[in-house]
């Protein structure tokens, strides 16, 4: 089941995100960052175990980011990531946000969910907010995609 993250989920969330960060696929997150942004996170809870996580982070009045999407490797291919992204898109619609973007190494996954590729230069809030902290900046090789929602 998908639910909003709770305090007890912070360490499992960090472990899952940082597992993929060590592989160079996500931006590492400190415990402090996760605690501060806890309300952004939804988790896929499977029998009291966090097996997936995704965050919807609001950047501006009409713009939010789907980030920190991670599913335990042994649970890949079961639709958990898709369900988490759809939940975040629903949340964005409920908030009245009509543009949701992501940066990813797996653009095909997001394209199957209706996202379209864009140039990162169209996302200055992201570039100067998070990207500047990344060890790959300014040579980022992630693909930017955006979804236009009807609110």
Q: What is the pTM of this model?
A: 0.90
For the chain, the domain total comes to: 1
| CATH number assigned to the domain comprising residue 138 | 3.40.630.30
Q: DSSP states of the chain as a string?
A: -EEE--GGGHHHHHHHHHHHHHTTSS----HHHHHHTGGGEEEEEETTEEEEEEEEEEEETTEEEEEEEEE-GGGTTSSHHHHHHHHHHHHHHHHT--EEEEEES-HHHHHTTT-EEE-GGG-HHHHHHTGGGSTTTTS--PEEEEEEPP-
pLDDT tens column, 70-87: 999 999 999 999 999 999
Mean pLDDT for the stretch of residues 8-28 = 95
Residues 115-140 pLDDT 10s: 999 988 888 665 555 655 555 656 67
pLDDT digits (tens, 9 = 90+) for 19-49: 999 998 998 999 999 999 999 999 999 999 9
Range of the domain at 102: 2-148
């Amino acid at each position: 089941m998908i639910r909003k993250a709770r305090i007890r989920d912070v360490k499992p969330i960090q472990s899952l995100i940082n597992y993929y960060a060590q592989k160079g696929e996500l931006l590492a997150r400190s415990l402090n960052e996760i605690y501060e942004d806890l309300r952004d996170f939804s988790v896929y809870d499977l029998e009291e175990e966090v097996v997936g996580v995704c965050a919807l982070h609001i950047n501006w009045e009409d713009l939010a980011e789907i980030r920190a999407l991670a599913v335990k490797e042994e649970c890949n291919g079961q639709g958990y990531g898709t369900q988490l992204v759809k939940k975040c898109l629903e949340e964005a619609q409920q908030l009245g946000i009509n543009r949701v973007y992501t940066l990813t190494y797996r653009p095909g996954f997001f394209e199957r969910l209706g996202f379209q590729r864009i140039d990162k230069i169209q996302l200055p809030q992201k570039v100067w907010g998070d990207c500047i902290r990344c060890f790959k900046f300014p040579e980022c090789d992630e693909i930017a995609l955006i979804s236009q929602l009807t609110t």
